[in-house]
Structure formats: structure tokens, C-alpha cells
Amino acid sequence: MIGRFRIGAPSMVFGPGTLKNVQRLAGLVDHVEIVLFHTPTLHNIPTPEEMECIREIAADRGLSLSVHLPTCLEIASPDPDRCRDSLAMAASLITQLQHPAIQNFILHIPYDRPTLAAVPGRYFHAENRDAFAGWLDRARDGLRRLRAASGSGAPLLVENINHSPVLMQSLWEEGRCGFCLDIGHLLLGGEPVLPVMDACLPHIREIHLHGVVGYEEHLGLNVLPLERVRRWMDRLTAADFRGVVNLEMFSPADLTASLEMVRQATAESG
């Protein structure tokens, strides 16, 4: 742990295999983000037996866990069938995986089509607010229906993707969800990090942190200036942040470099 917050990594650092990743990450980090995919070529939903092993490891090693729901989900789609199918899958996964060891369920709510991050010409800033009115209404309804279908339990967090958090801030201010801040996605969109962090910290439960160069993301933090990372760590420490900072990269070398960067940044901050 750094101060009051936990340091995590995703369940794909050591290749495919969620259980294998949890086993190997248990000695390196405090938290594991279980990243789920459901595509024609990749389906990694853990079996009940695998989840039981993961929970045992978490209990034994003091790990906390979160679940990143598949990015193909579109609970605010204007297509009723796609929206219905997405809600059904999300509710099923939340119900199936719900457990005290799971701290958060993380969800993307695409504005127009699923995307993992900002792409050239496809990032929506605050000035696009009027275009988001219909999306916000559908997102509110989708979150309401998802909570009704899956019941209470671990908080549901909405992550910023290729749109400014300002455009969806009302969702968590109205208590419909919490916020998962992806700092890398802010960098891709050219947004300043600290103002967003300051405005949203009361609602942030998990932060995704990774290096970005141009439009290449999920790199090690060592591609960023140390001073920049230090300012972010300082702000979290000063605010007594008690959530998770998830180092969202997908190779052992990048994770090692990022852990060292965080150590240096927090050591310099005192």
C-alpha cells in the first residue's frame, strides 16, 4: 500500500489465464483487476472453480479484487436489442461473480460504439455536452435496470473512455454509480489530469494509470516524466485517497518499471 491506497495490476500481465495471473501478482501488488472479455475470439469468464481459487488466494494474501466487465457491453445503446443483450450479460456476470472479495465492478458505457480508449478525432470534450443528452438518459436508465437485475453488492463504477468525465459527471453525482478514473484516457484526450481529479475525487474508487505516448497506451509509467507522476501521487496522498491505483499495463517488464516509478514518486513526496 502507498499511504491509504492500494496498488493493483490487471489479470493479463503474465499472458492469458486469470488464475495464473492472480497467483503471480499476489506477491507484487495489493489488488488485482480481473479483466473480462467476451468476443468471438476471446472468452475468459472464470469458472466457479477458478473463482473459488482466486478468492482463496485473495483471502490468504490479503489481496482485494475488482472485475472489469467486457468492453463489448453497450447498456446505453440506441439499439433496443443490443441494449437488452448487454444488460442481460452484465447482470449475469455481476450476479455470478458477486462476492465480498470483489470491491468494484467496472463498466464502460460507450457513447456511439465500443472503443477501448480515445482514438484520433473521436474524443468528446465538454463542448460536446448537448450531443450527450440522449446518451445520458439512456445511461441513467441502463444503470437503473442493471442495478435492479443484479441486486445490491459491490459498487458499480463507470470508467471514462473516449469522452471527458465532465460529460457523465451527473451519473455519479446522482448516486447511480461510482467513478473509475482512467488517467491514461485523459492523456489520450489531451485533458489536464489534476482538475479532473480534484473535481471527482469524492466519487473515485479506482484509478487506472498507465503510460501514453501519442495514441499508444497501456505502456509502463517510465515513458512519463517522474515529476508528473509525483504530482498525481501527491494529490492522492493529500486527499487521503483510500481506493485503488491500478497500474494497467500488460507485460511483466512494464509492471516492474511502473512499480519502481510509483516508489520513486511517493518517496520524493515524503
Q: Is residue 1 part of a domain?
A: no
Mean pLDDT of the chain: 91
Angle at 143 between CA 140 and CA 147, to 5 degrees: 140
- Provide the pLDDT for residue 211: 96
Q: What is the pTM of this model?
A: 0.94
- Provide the pLDDT for residue 123: 84
DSSP conformational letter for 160: P
User: How many residues are listed for the chain in this entry?
Assistant: 270
> Could you give the number of structural domains in the chain?
1
Q: Is residue 60 part of a domain?
A: yes
- Provide the pLDDT for residue 270: 46
Domain that residue 243 falls in: 6-268
Q: Is residue 16 part of a domain?
A: yes
CA distances from 26 to 179, 213, 227 (A): 25, 29, 29
One-character DSSP codes across 165-212? GGGGHHHHHTTS-EEEEEHHHHHHHT--HHHHHHHHGGGEEEEEE-EE
pLDDT, greater one: 131 or 187: 187
Model confidence band, residue 137 (pLDDT cutoffs 50, 70, 90): very high
Residue 245 C-alpha cell reads as 491505483
Percentage, residues of the chain above pLDDT 70: 93
- Those residues with Cβ within 8 angstroms of residue 7's Cβ, 6 or more apart along the chain or in another chain: 1, 29, 30, 31, 244, 245, 246, 247, 259, 262
Q: Which of 59-63, 91-95, 97-101 has the lowest mean pLDDT?
A: 97-101
Q: What is the CATH number of the domain that holds 93?
A: 3.20.20.150
Model confidence band, residue 249 (pLDDT cutoffs 50, 70, 90): very high
- Provide the pLDDT for residue 36: 95
- Provide the pLDDT for residue 120: 60
Model confidence band, residue 43 (pLDDT cutoffs 50, 70, 90): confident
Whether 62 and 103 have beta carbons less than 8 Å apart is answered as no
Q: Which of 107-111, 243-247, 251-255 has the lowest mean pLDDT?
A: 107-111
Mean pLDDT of 256-261: 97
Mean pLDDT of 139-157: 91
